[in-house]
């Protein structure tokens, strides 16, 4: 992997995840496009999940709690934070996500690779993340196709 390579000079393993996290975090602070800001936050979460860093997990929590943050960024930070923690979702996170996840935002965020990858043809990725992570008791939409199900040939 590009972020784990041997340093030819010292023979040590180079960990580029810290540099990636720092670059993404710096860009989040100045990025004006809400969808790009959400993508950066999901990138921070992915790098942190691959290489745990508790201060970044705490920073992600701050991002979803920050009322002045754009809604797309708060949603991405909430999903990212949930992926980085083992504890139950706080009531404030549940309320924020349910309030911020409008149909228009769900459609915009479905353009992000992370969300598109988990969505199906009848359920956008963000809606599926919310259902799976925060409302596990809710059933899948009728006719939902599971993108993670093993492939089975169509019957003839």
Please name which of 120, 27, 33, 41 lies closest in space to residue 82, comparing C-alpha atoms. 41
First to last CA, the chain: 42
For 38-92, the pLDDT digits (tens) are 999 999 999 899 889 999 999 999 999 999 999 999 999 999 999 999 989 999 9
Lowest model confidence (mean pLDDT) among 28-32, 71-75, 122-126, 146-150:
146-150
Question: Quick one: which H or E segment has residue 104?
Answer: helix 103-109
| pTM assigned to the model | 0.78
Residue 145 · residue 120 · CB < 8 Å: yes
Q: Which residues contact 85 (CB under 8 A, 6 or more apart)?
A: 57
pLDDT at 31: 95
For 101-120, the pLDDT digits (tens) are 999 999 999 999 989 888 87
DSSP string of 36-76, one letter each residue: HHHHHHHHHHHHHHHS--HHHHHHHHHHHH-TTS-HHHHHH
Higher pLDDT, 18 or 137: 18
What does the mean pLDDT of the chain come to? 82
The rounded percent of the chain whose pLDDT value lies above 70 is: 77
Higher pLDDT, 107 or 147: 107
């Amino acid at each position: 992997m590009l972020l784990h390579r041997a340093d030819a000079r010292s023979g040590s393993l180079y960990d580029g995840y810290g540099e990636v996290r720092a670059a993404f975090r710096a860009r989040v602070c100045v990025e004006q496009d809400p969808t790009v800001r959400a993508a950066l936050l999901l990138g921070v979460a992915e790098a942190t999940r691959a290489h745990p860093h508790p201060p970044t997990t705490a920073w992600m929590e701050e991002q979803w709690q920050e009322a002045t943050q754009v809604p797309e960024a708060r949603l991405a930070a909430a999903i990212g934070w949930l992926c980085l923690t083992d504890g139950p979702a706080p009531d404030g996170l549940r309320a924020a996500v349910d309030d911020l996840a409008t149909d228009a935002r769900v459609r915009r965020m479905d353009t992000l690779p992370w969300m598109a990858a988990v969505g199906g043809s009848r359920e956008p990725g963000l809606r599926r993340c919310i259902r799976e992570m925060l409302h596990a008791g809710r059933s899948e939409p009728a006719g939902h196709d599971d993108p993670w199900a093993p492939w089975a040939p169509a019957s003839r």
